[in-house]
Amino acid sequence: LCDSALNFVVASLISCGPAVTWVVKSSGGEHLLTSFKQQERIEQPKIIEPLDYEAVVFQRKAQIHSDPHRDLLLCPVDDVSVSPRRTVVPSVPQNAEREARSLFAKECIKMYNTDWHVINYKYEAYSGDFRMLPR
């Protein structure tokens, strides 16, 4: 196209795949301009492995021990208490485990008949949102 043809009245953009076509209308008639888009390279996000907290604490044991704020990094020793529980009156018949045919049913019956443990956290009230801390 010459310079005089660039005085167009209407230009519209038609996009089809990797090619872009402009329809240029001028006083001299319609002209088609075609160019090809460069392939955009999309980078994949880097996979970040989660931190192995126990390994870091073990590796930096001496550094953490001398840190004045070590209480913020380490879990309190007296935070967790475990209390065993047992169902006094079983809700499953005694011969149900022998009569069960599927593995899922057998595992459910076994879970109902075994002892279980309750885990209590002493400092649970201090976890979560800082605006909800006890006063």
| pLDDT tier, 39 (very low <50, low <70, confident <90, very high otherwise) | low
14 lies in some domain: yes
Give the tokens for residue 27.
């006083």
**Residue 90 and residue 51 in contact, taking contact as beta carbons nearer than 8 Å:** no
Strand ranges (DSSP E) for 1-135?
Answer: 8-16, 19-26, 29-36, 80-85, 116-121
pLDDT value, residue 115: 86
d(CA 34, CA 103): 66
62 lies in some domain: no
- Looking at residues 53-66, what average pLDDT do you find? 89
46 lies in some domain: no
pLDDT in tens, 84-134: 888 788 788 888 888 999 999 999 888 888 888 899 988 888 888 878 888
Q: Could you tell me which residue, 93 or 11, shows the higher pLDDT?
A: 93
d(CA 66, CA 23): 73
Owning domain of residue 13:
3-36
3-class secondary-structure state, position 14? strand
Structural domains counted in the chain = 2
Q: Is the pLDDT of residue 35 over 80?
A: no
pLDDT value, residue 29: 61
